[in-house]
Amino acid sequence: MDPLVIDRRDGSRMELHVWPTATAKSPPILIMPAMGVPGGYYRPLAEALAAQGFPVVVGEQRGHGGSGVRPGRRV
């Protein structure tokens, strides 16, 4: 599954990983990872929720996943 990529004005980008469901009867559950935790850590949870019919979106914090910004002394 390819992530939905959002380009920000500051030149960085954010990835959203989406698990849609064909019979979604509720708004999507948004999971934003804890600091220092990549979004992929939440994949088993997202897949389990989607299997139960809940649409799920997992975001990535700046500096993680496909983010265009990496932590450093200047960032």
| Residue 58 and residue 6 in contact, taking contact as beta carbons nearer than 8 Å | no
Q: Which residue has the higher pLDDT, 70 or 2?
A: 2
Q: Encode pLDDT of 18-72 as tens digits.
A: 998 877 678 899 999 887 788 889 999 999 999 998 999 998 877 666 666 666 7
Return d(Cα 17, Cα 4) in angstroms, integer.
Answer: 6
CA atoms within 13 A on the CB side of 41: 13
Distance of alpha carbon 64 from the chain centroid:
10
pLDDT at 43: 93
Please name the residues in contact with 34: beta carbons below 8 A apart, sequence gap of 6 or more: none
